[in-house]
Amino acid sequence: MRRSLVSIACLAGLFAGAAFAAPGVDVDPLTHQPLVQRVVRGSDGRPLATAIQRETVYYSGKQAPGTIIISTSERRLYYVLPDGKAVKYGVGVGRPGFEWAGVKTISMKREWPDWTPPSEMLKRRPDLPRHMKGGIQNPLGARAMYLGSSLYRIHGSNEPETIGQAVSSGCIRMTNDDVVDLYDRVRVGTRVVVQP
């Protein structure tokens, strides 16, 4: 899938210390700054979805470099770097009733993983296939990082429009570009802290 970068960074003005973005531009709830976004395009060049731009940010928390921190309320994943920085990614998280928090470790990594929906999901969605080979149509996308012995994963997605939304059954979704970037940075045993 081809991607082109679209920078949406114009401020409409400042009022009482808060920055306002141009109409239709999402604003980061913590910084009140416009989100930098990129357009995901299909093979014909038409826009399919707008994804949140990956960026390097300052980090002053207590987690060690190499840790993944997921803020489900913010719908962001942070990979902690040395020297007080982190890579910040947009993610999709669990929909209402499927939220969770805790500490896990990456127990396994897979490229273009196969997908076998768990029995709990099949009860809710009997229309789903019982097994799907890895590939571009697979809901796990380009990479998957399995979280301990749980049913949860950090994985890519064949639905990039869901990034930044609460729509999953508890897994953490990323664009395929972002999940490949994170996958290449982490190893089995990486600590993952999921916060509400």
**Pairing mode of beta strands 191-195, 68-71:** parallel
155 catalytic residue (yes or no): yes
What backbone phi and psi angles, to 5 degrees, belong to 89? -120, 145
Catalytic residue among 10, 32, 131, 155: 155
8 contacts 37 by C-beta, under 8 angstroms: yes
Six-digit token string for 116: 């076998």
Q: State the residue for tokens 């380009």.
A: 142
Catalytic residue among 10, 32, 131, 171: 171
Q: Which residues are catalytic?
A: 155, 171
